[in-house]
Amino acid sequence: MFSVGYYRKYDGEKPTIHHCPPEDVVIELANGEREAVVGWTEPWAEDNSGRIPTKTNNIGPMSKFYVGRRETVKYVFTDDEGNSATCEFDIILTGKIFE
């Protein structure tokens, strides 16, 4: 008689993120402009398990942003074991608004 066992190695390593902006994204608008659609290359992640981590984010590329407001963009990547890694950066639009 024989038995078949399943061995599962514990994974305590969080996913590795690529293409996360190292600093805030600051965009200077022309005088009088109040808003802009801003695009960026989305970060992606890989996991030591070889599987693709789940991605969640609050704001995506090609979203509208407004002068004078700082908006934080947040991406969270989670692997099958529940380990997560976060990429955060701010989008800041500057310029003179004429009334």
Number of compact structural domains in the chain: 1
Is the pLDDT reported for residue 80 higher than 90?
yes
Distance CA 29, CA 84 (A): 35
Is the pLDDT reported for residue 3 higher than 80?
no
Q: Is 90 within 8 Å of 73 (Cβ atoms)?
A: yes
Whether 4 is covered by a domain: the verdict is no
Please, what's the b/e burial string for 2-37 (b: 16 or more CB within 10 A of its CB; e: otherwise)?
eeeeeeeeeeeebbebeebeeeeeeeebeeeeeebe
Whole-prediction pTM value? 0.84
pLDDT at res. 11: 78
Is the pLDDT reported for residue 63 higher than 90?
yes
Confidence of residue 1 (pLDDT cuts 50, 70, 90): low
Whether 8 is covered by a domain: the verdict is no
Whether 1 is covered by a domain: the verdict is no
Residue 28 lies in domain: 16-94
